[in-house]
Copies of this chain bind each other. A is one copy, B any other.
Amino acid sequence: MSAGSRDEAESLRYSFLGPAGTFTEAALLQVPGVEQAVRVPAGSVLTALNMVEAGEVDAAMVPIENSVEGGVTATLDAISVAHRLHIVREALVPISFVLASAAPLATEQIRTISTHTHGWAQVRRWAESTIPAAEFVPASSTAAAARGLLEEEPSADAAVCSPLVAAQLGLHVVASGIEDVAGAVTRFVLVARPGEIPSITGADKTTIMIPLPQDRAGALMELLEHFATRGVNLCRIESRPTGNGLGEYYFSIDLEGHIAEARVADALAGIHRIAPGIRFLGSYPRADEKPQQTTAEVSDEAFTAAAAWISSLRHA
């Protein structure tokens, strides 16, 4: 598949970590043409990914970092280890919460507040100072908490949820911007079956996963030398146990650049020699659109000139 490139965009189908109204759906709504697509909420990140693999949807939007509703570590492991999927896009969503109620309500009337435990952790100071008497009622997601307000037997007086779901459900917003730390942003990725790689934009990221057989001083450095000698910057690195027993690791890495660039391809080829189990998880445009800075010595032209020189030596 190639999410977003199909002409008949109306027939595209996306799964996302549901239910409707989560921050993940807010991320999905950033995808161009998504209004005409079918959006399928999934009960978990794994379910969302499974739907892609099974061909039931074209792609899945899932949280990858700092999520309000968890599942992040699981996401990384799922994409890297369990599945054969590619990242085709990333999205950044500002994490801002509202306190919402079914009907207009004053703060002092609120005795119970429902939300996901992670969401609750992020508004706790506000809640303790503003409505100290209110009791926390856990929900499986912030969106589920919002939805619970409208049930025959409401799960609580109010819910901490995303502005999106409050708007979708027509809830009353008691207070907004109630997050304890302003300016937080969460990163999501759109995941699809391997296919055509998104075109290079000049502001791209590439995600890879490298199983490392040995756990010794210098093993990671050996990997990094392959990036350094090609002037490839890392955006993120995490060592993760493979789950295959003690002492076995993989590195999950986001790097700056696109597989279509010589310096990225050359670095990955170098690592393939020492870690043939390396997995390519996608090259895709950066959500922050920060343009790639590189030096002349790792430009495609420098690689072409070097290859031409070697060829001239060998075929004199």
Binding site for B on A (CB under 8 A): 44, 46, 66, 70-74, 116-118, 121, 124, 136, 138-141, 144, 181, 184, 194-197, 215-218, 220-222, 224-239, 241, 243, 246-247, 259-260, 265, 268-270, 272-274, 276, 280, 288, 290, 297-298, 302-303, 305-307, 309-310, 313-314, 316
Contacts and interface: CB of A to CB of B under 8 A. Distances in A.
A218 B218 CA distance: 11
A160 to B, nearest CB: 13
Contacts of A72: 73
B221 A233 contact: no
Contacts of A225: 221, 225, 228-229
A298 B273 contact: yes
A195 B228 contact: no
10 contacts: A138-B139, A194-B316, A221-B228, A259-B314, A268-B306, A269-B303, A269-B310, A270-B306, A272-B305, A273-B306
Contacts of A136: 140
B215 A233 contact: yes
Contact of A269 (B116, B117, B306): B306
A310 B268 contact: yes
A237 B239 contact: yes
Given A220-B234, A221-B224, A280-B313, 11 more contacts: A44-B121, A46-B121, A197-B313, A224-B224, A229-B270, A237-B239, A259-B314, A269-B303, A269-B306, A273-B302, A273-B306
A265 B314 contact: yes
A180 to B, nearest CB: 10
Contact of A118 (B70, B234, B307): B70
Contact of A73 (B66, B194, B265): B66
B44 A124 contact: yes
A269 B116 CA distance: 43
A237 B234 CA distance: 13
A297 B74 CA distance: 32
Contacts of A140: 117, 136, 138
Contacts of A221: 221, 224-225, 227-228
Contacts of A228: 217-218, 221, 225
A82 to B, nearest CB: 10
A59 to B, nearest CB: 16
Contact of A231 (B217, B230, B237): B217
A235 B70 CA distance: 24
Nearest to A226: B229
A276 B272 CA distance: 26
B310 A243 contact: no
Nearest to A118: B70
A117 B74 CA distance: 12
Contacts of A230: 270
Given A225-B229, A228-B218, A234-B239, A197 B314 contact: yes
A87 to B, nearest CB: 13
A216 B238 contact: no
